[in-house]
């Protein structure tokens, strides 16, 4: 990885674009990591950051992750990410800001394709689409690829959790397997419902405690405080909230055999992959297991398939995980490092 421009997460990015629109109050970052395989695809999130450097760092990390995710999902797309800075926690993005962001996307001439992420919705994508065609995740007709990526991400994570449980626990099914889920929004909540149907034992946590409690009552699950979920004793810990939650401290406190979840950039630094391995914990690299959403919106944008093709590609996520784990066993390298190596090879940076 090449460090540059004062940002440790700068990784030979092809472009890092900063946008302001005084009329709407938009402040945004679009980072393009690679277009080797195709247009740089990745969602845009609306989030409050402590400062602009933190926002740029997030865009750098997320765009690199999208390069790797798209490559590992066999999509003919590169990796990019958009970040729109919220002035205050709890702010909601305005239509004028969405339009301004759409103009920013349009100015890049198709090198970046945006989609829904944290703080955005299908309605947000519809507004952005009024000023640029380089957007995916729009409402679609039944049977077509596209639409809200959340349920497709949840399905991929579910299949990956089952593969990880089989690999790490020898579980032939999920009945009675204890899964601790951090974050029960679109992805974590969808995962919980799928696992509940399989008879898994669930413990849920969310920064919105009421949301976790309501889902737990629906599914017959237990809840714990959001800051306690990673340290509870469970067969599988599944992070499905924001990233950088696997730190030296949190890894030391883990009481699990498997970590497999849909959150992006779960490892605080590269070293945490080795720390998980040293503790004998099987890790499902996040950008491999959570690729279902980008598979859905990517195929929509490219016009390459229908719902059946989306489902078929998501069903191959466990195969890619098994490839990573097999190579990790063979080489002794942490699973996270192996996934990076395979992805870099696929984008011509091996």
Residues in the chain: 350
Contact 196, 202 (CB under 8 A): yes
Contact 162, 132 (CB under 8 A): no
What is the C-alpha to C-alpha distance for residues 183 and 200, in angstroms, rounded to an integer?
17
For residue 260, count CB atoms less than 10 angstroms from its CB and return exposed for 0-12, middle for 13-18, buried for 19 or more: buried
What is the C-alpha to C-alpha distance for residues 144 and 303, in angstroms, rounded to an integer?
10
Q: Tokens 């800001």 belong to which residue?
A: 97
Question: What amino acid positions are annotated as catalytic residues?
Answer: 81
Q: Tokens 């729109």 belong to which residue?
A: 84
The answer for residues whose C-beta is within 8 angstroms of residue 294's C-beta and 6 or more apart is: 41, 42, 66, 69, 70, 73, 75, 77, 115, 149
The answer for residues whose C-beta is within 8 angstroms of residue 262's C-beta and 6 or more apart is: 153, 154, 156, 157, 187, 188, 191, 238, 239, 240, 286, 289, 290
């Amino acid at each position: 990885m090449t460090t540059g421009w004062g940002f440790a997460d700068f990784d030979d990015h092809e472009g890092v674009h900063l946008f302001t629109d005084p009329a709407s109050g938009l402040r945004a970052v679009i980072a393009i990591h690679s277009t080797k395989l195709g247009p740089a695809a990745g969602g845009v999130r609306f989030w409050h950051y402590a400062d602009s450097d933190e926002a740029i760092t997030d865009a750098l990390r997320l765009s690199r992750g999208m390069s790797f995710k798209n490559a590992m999902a066999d999509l003919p797309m590169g990796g990019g990410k958009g970040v729109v800075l919220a002035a205050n926690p709890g702010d909601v993005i305005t239509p004028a800001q969405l339009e301004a962001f759409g103009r920013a996307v349009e100015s890049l001439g198709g090198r970046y394709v945006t989609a829904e992420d944290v703080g955005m919705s299908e309605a947000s994508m519809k507004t952005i689409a009024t000023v640029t065609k380089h957007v995916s995740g729009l409402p679609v007709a039944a049977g077509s690829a596209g639409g809200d990526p959340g349920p497709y991400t949840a399905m991929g994570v579910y299949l990956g959790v089952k593969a990880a449980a089989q690999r790490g626990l020898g579980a032939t099914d999920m009945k009675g397997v204890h899964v601790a889920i951090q974050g029960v929004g679109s992805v974590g909540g969808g995962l919980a419902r799928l696992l509940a149907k399989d008879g898994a034992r669930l413990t849920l946590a969310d920064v919105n405690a009421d949301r976790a409690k309501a889902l737990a009552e629906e599914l017959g699950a237990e809840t714990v405080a959001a800051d306690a979920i990673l340290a509870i004793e469970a067969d599988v810990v599944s992070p499905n909230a924001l990233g950088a939650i696997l730190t030296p401290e949190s890894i030391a406190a883990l009481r699990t055999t498997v970590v497999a979840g849909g959150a992006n950039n779960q490892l605080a630094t590269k070293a945490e992959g080795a720390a998980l391995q040293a503790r004998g914990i099987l890790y499902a690299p996040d950008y491999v297991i959570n690729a279902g959403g980008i598979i859905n919106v990517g195929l929509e944008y490219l016009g390459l398939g229908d719902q059946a093709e989306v489902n078929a590609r998501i069903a191959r996520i466990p195969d890619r995980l098994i490839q990573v784990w097999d190579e990790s066993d063979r080489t002794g390298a942490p699973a996270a490092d192996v996934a990076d190596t395979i992805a870099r090879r696929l984008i011509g940076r091996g």
